[in-house]
C-alpha cells in the first residue's frame, strides 16, 4: 500500500510535536533532495529534526526543510516526502514506509550495522590479551 505525502507530512508533524526529536530516514539520491556534499547521493541517510534546534525547520505540503548543523556550519536540507521512507521518534519505535527502490538496501544496511560487519562479527577480538580488553575500575573495595 502506497503511503501518501500528506500522510507522511502528518506523521512528521505529529511526532515532532510530541517528542524531543525525530529521526527521518531518507533516500539521499532521490530527485529533489538537497543535502551537504558529504551526504549527497547516498541511498541511506538519517537526519535528526527538532523544534528545539536553533536552525529553522519548515514542514509543508511538499518538503521538509531544515537548517541543520554539520560540523560547525549550518546547511539548508531540503527533503521531498517521496524521499522519506521512515521515521523514528525519540520515544522509540520506527515506522518504515517501503520505498520503491531501496527496501533491500535498507534492510541489508540495518542487518550489517554502521560498521558493515555482520552482527555476529562484532565480538571483541579473542586474541587480544584479557588485561588489555578490560579496563580496571576507579572504584576501590573497602573492608
Per-residue pLDDT at 31: 92
Residue ranges of domains in the chain, CATH in brackets: 5-100 (2.30.30.220)
Specify the length of the chain in residues. 143
Report DSSP state, residue 34: B
Distance of CA 80 to the CA centre of its chain: 16
How many Å apart are CA 94 and CA 91, to the nearest integer?
Answer: 10
> pLDDT tens digit string along 56-109?
999 999 999 999 999 999 999 999 999 998 899 988 888 887 655 455 565 566
Residue-averaged pLDDT of the chain: 79
Amino acid at each position: 500500500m502506497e503511503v501518501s505525502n500528506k500522510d507522511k507530512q502528518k506523521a512528521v508533524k505529529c511526532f515532532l510535536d510530541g517528542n524531543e526529536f525525530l529521526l527521518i530516514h531518507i533516500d539521499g539520491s532521490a530527485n529533489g533532495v538537497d543535502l551537504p556534499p558529504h551526504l549527497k547521493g547516498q541511498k541511506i541517510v538519517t537526519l535528526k529534526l527538532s523544534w528545539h534546534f536553533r536552525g529553522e525547520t519548515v514542514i509543508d505540503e511538499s518538503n521538509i526543510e531544515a537548517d541543520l548543523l554539520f560540523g560547525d556550519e549550518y546547511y539548508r536540507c531540503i527533503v521531498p516526502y517521496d524521499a522519506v521512507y521512515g521515521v523514528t521518534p525519540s520515544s522509540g519505535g520506527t515506522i518504515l514506509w517501503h520505498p520503491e527502490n531501496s527496501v533491500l538496501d535498507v534492510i541489508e544496511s540495518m542487518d550489517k550495522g554502521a560498521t558493515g560487519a555482520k552482527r555476529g562479527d562484532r565480538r571483541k577480538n579473542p586474541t587480544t590479551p584479557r588485561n588489555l580488553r578490560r579496563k580496571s575500575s576507579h572504584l576501590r573495595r573497602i573492608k
